[in-house]
Amino acid sequence: MKLPRDLSGPDLIRLLAILGYSVTRQSGSHVRLTTQECGEHHLTVPNHVPLRIGTLAAILAAVAAHHGIDRDELLKRLLA
């Protein structure tokens, strides 16, 4: 599945809440998210509009690896 080109940091943060991620802190334009599902996992999401495609790909790869699914399955869960 192709990555969305117009996804912003705040939009991604809202989507990741579906998987149990919540904001733990913010430092400048970067937001730290944490989940306890499938073990503890931390992410840093830039609060930019839009997110660069490489940044988005890296964040989604980290989330998919933590949850033990591939990126396409993760996108289906988040964007459905």
Read off the pLDDT of residues 2-20 as tens digits, 9 standing for 90 and up.
999 999 999 999 999 999 9
Q: Which residues contact 50 (CB under 8 A, 6 or more apart)?
A: 5, 6, 7, 8
* Residue 17 pLDDT: 95
Domains in the chain: boundaries: 9-75
DSSP conformation class of 19: G
Separation CA 38–CA 80 (nearest Å): 22
State pLDDT tens for residues 15-40.
Answer: 999 999 999 999 999 999 999 998 99
Return all residues near 7 (Cβ < 8 A) that are at least 6 apart.
50, 51, 56
Name the CATH superfamily, with its identifier, for domain 9-75.
Hypothetical protein. (3.30.920.30)
**Minimal CA–CA distance to 30: which of 15, 16, 51?**
51
